[in-house]
Amino acid sequence: MLDSYLRARFKSYRGSDRVDVASQLTPERYHIAGGDQYAANVQLFLRKYAKSDGLVLERPLSPSTRALVDDYVFALVHLAAFCRDHGARLVLVYFPCYPQVYDPGTPMTIRDILRDASARSGIPFLDLTPAFREAGRGQVLHLAPRDFHPNPAGNAVIARGVADFLAGARR
């Protein structure tokens, strides 16, 4: 009903002809030009995200970034206690950012801080970095350079890693 109202009221609402989206949903849409240019994509990531995700790649962490990380660890510790008190199991999964996968010299400071905080708090910790580095040798795992999120192959690495970790933890 809202859709009909908006169509009648505003000529610009859905003004273009509907595109047959289903015909575009093919595996080829994930083949992005430059996706296998890992070194160039690392540099692009570092430039593009220097003031956001890239802050945790500085060595050493700036005081303001360290304060944010400390706040995160504080919340994580309290979340773990809440989960324990309520019979829930918390697992922290570390998903590496693009440079941490394709540039071995990229600092892993944030991973190490989170791993250590998890160990001190009794939180199982899964680091997906080795799985991404291994799988990334033979295939493109991200939507780079357009986007630095995982593509279906990257999501499969995450799914396998988490499933294997959880299955191993049940034994």
- Does 2 map to a domain? no
Q: Tell me, yes or no, whether 89 lies in a domain.
A: yes
Q: What is the pLDDT of residue 20?
A: 66
Domain coverage including residue 143: 35-170
Asked if residue 18 belongs to a domain, the reply is: no
In this structure, is residue 29 part of a structural domain? no
How confident is the model at residue 171, as a pLDDT? 54
Three-state secondary-structure class, residue 94: strand
Place of tokens 């708090």: 121
Examine residue 16 and state whether it is found in any structural domain, yes or no. no
Note the pLDDT of residue 46. Answer: 96
Alpha helices by DSSP H, listed for the chain, are: 2-9, 38-48, 63-85, 98-102, 109-121, 129-135, 152-170
DSSP 3-state of 103: coil
CA distance 141 to 104: 16
Distance CA 145, CA 34 (A): 6
pLDDT at 27: 80
Residue 141 lies in a domain: yes
Q: How many domains does the chain have?
A: 1
pLDDT value of position 19: 61
Residue 5 lies in a domain: no
In a domain, 147, yes or no: yes
Tens place of pLDDT for every residue, the chain, 171 residues? Answer: 777 777 777 766 665 555 666 777 788 888 999 999 999 999 999 999 999 999 999 999 999 999 999 999 999 999 999 999 999 999 999 999 999 999 999 999 999 999 999 999 999 999 999 999 999 998 999 999 999 999 999 999 999 999 999 998 665
At 24 the pLDDT is 74
